[in-house]
Amino acid sequence: MKKRFFAVLTALALALTACGTGTAQEEKTVTETSAAVQAEAEETSSEAEPKELRKINIGYGAHLGCVLYFIAQEEGYFNDYGIEAELTMMDDSANGIAALKSGKFTLGSFGSNEAFSLISQGEEELTVFGGQMHEGSGLITLPENAEYFKDWENFRGKTLGMVRMSTGDIIFRGALHRAGLDLQEDVNIVELGSAPEVIESVKKGAIDVGAVWIPQLANAEAQGLEITCLSGEVAPNHP
């Protein structure tokens, strides 16, 4: 507003000068300056008008990766991109994806296992376009073994603890398979009931490596363990 005010004063001053001298050059300057002031005023007025936001419905599961949605909402990132986001939490991934397919949600963020399961069954209506949890899971081990287990070949004959159908369970089984290891013969995979149980088993030496997810990755580090691999390193941008 101040900038436009002083620009108008400048234009008026030039106009008065032009009236006093009557030269063609000064009249041209007044005309150009007035046009510039008018264009700036129209631009400022246009910027002041509120943007019409596109409303989208986002479904999400109860996991920490979805905190990103709330950060985006709090910081105004959705508005910056012309979006009004409505967030709805679902009790599990299966119900969330069902709601997505029915049109209740524009997009959704749920566990990897359900998405992978549907894709393996030939699902063609869903599109995976981003990986919110691509560093959300990781392999943990004792500090002295952290470098050793960066090589998949070193998993031969070792015991790996998983929580069945967790994201890490799927991602790291796939990584072992792609590395040429037979999941039945070359490694001993044990299924445990929870991430804290995996951590305790690694600490006690009952398993060599365990797969957990955030915030349990931080909990594992706080208890003296180390992360040897993140899921995004073997499956970039996985859902």
Please state the domain extents for the chain. Answer: 2-48, 54-110, 137-234
Domains 54-110 and 137-234 share a fold: yes
Contact 187, 204 (CB under 8 A): no
Report the mean per-residue pLDDT for the chain: 78
Residues 186-198, mean pLDDT to the nearest whole number: 95
Q: Is the pLDDT of residue 191 over 70?
A: yes
Q: In the CATH hierarchy, which fold is given to the domain comprising 54-110?
A: D-Maltodextrin-Binding Protein; domain 2 (3.40.190)
pLDDT in tens, 76-85: 999 999 999 9
pLDDT in tens, 14-52: 333 333 434 445 444 445 545 554 555 555 544 555 568
Q: Does residue 79 or residue 126 have the better pLDDT?
A: 79
Q: Does residue 7 or residue 44 have the better pLDDT?
A: 44
How far is 122 from 92, CA to CA, in rounded Å?
A: 21
Please name the amino acid found at residue 188. N
**CATH fit for domain 137-234, picks 3.40.190.10, 3.30.470.20, 3.10.129.10, 3.40.50.300:** 3.40.190.10
**pLDDT of res. 18:** 36
85 forms beta bridges with: 56
**pLDDT of res. 227:** 97
Residues 157-165, mean pLDDT to the nearest whole number: 93
Q: Which residue has the tokens 């398993």?
A: 207
Q: Which residue has the tokens 């981003």?
A: 130
